Amino acid sequence: MKALLQRVSQASVSVAEAQIANIGPGLLVLVGFEPDDDAARVAQLTQRCMAYRVFADDRGRMNRSLRDAGGSLLLVPQFTLAADTRSGLRPGFSTSAPPDQARGLFAVAVSTAVASLGAARVRQGAFGADMAVSLINDGPVTFWLETAPSAVPAGAV
């Protein structure tokens, strides 16, 4: 799983020009899934996003997590994050999880966040939709997080 985490003062998602989700101060997290991802890895990285210390403490240092700061979370599925961009001028998507798998993994990310923060603090984009995402990046503060690659079995090339 790959996550692009952005600290925002506000963010929203619209589909067909209708706003479907919005938050005030908090995190906008774009998430992409890979074929090796499973529910445990997704839950682990989702928890890491919420615990990542990107909010200022009383001394102005990034020492507070989303949980500590009391902000909201907007999760947006974005399969292009898992694209293969290592060569050429066009991304390849064989490194992205198939839609059915990714849909289930996105549901795991959302349910993990809701269990941790409560439904009132979690919003989500629409899986598979053509979305317009708007944000005001606070800082700007943006981080790329990902799960460790799966171990390659001995003898595999």
Contact partners, residue 68, CB within 8 Å, separation at least 6:
53, 55
pLDDT of residue 150: 56
Q: Span 40-44, mean pLDDT?
A: 96
Q: Span 49-63, mean pLDDT?
A: 96
CB atoms within 10 A of CB 51: 12
Q: Distance between CA 93 and CA 98 in Å, rounded?
A: 9
3-state secondary structure of 28: strand
Q: Distance between CA 42 and CA 147 in Å, rounded?
A: 8
Average pLDDT, the chain: 93
- Residue 131, Ramachandran bin (φ over 0: left; ψ between -120 and 50: alpha; else beta): beta
CA 89, 106, 48, 124 dihedral sign is: positive
Sorted by where each starts, the structural domains of the chain and their CATH numbers stand as 2-146 (3.50.80.10)
Q: Span 82-102, mean pLDDT?
A: 93
Confidence of residue 154 (pLDDT cuts 50, 70, 90): very low
pLDDT of residue 138: 97
pLDDT of residue 149: 62
pLDDT of residue 147: 82
Q: Distance between CA 108 and CA 40 in Å, rounded?
A: 9
**Contact predicate 16/41, CB 8 Å:** no
3-state secondary structure of 135: strand
pLDDT in tens, 9-32: 999 999 999 999 999 999 999 999
End-to-end CA distance of the chain: 22
Q: Span 39-52, mean pLDDT?
A: 97
Q: What is the set of active-site residues?
A: 78-80
3-state secondary structure of 68: helix
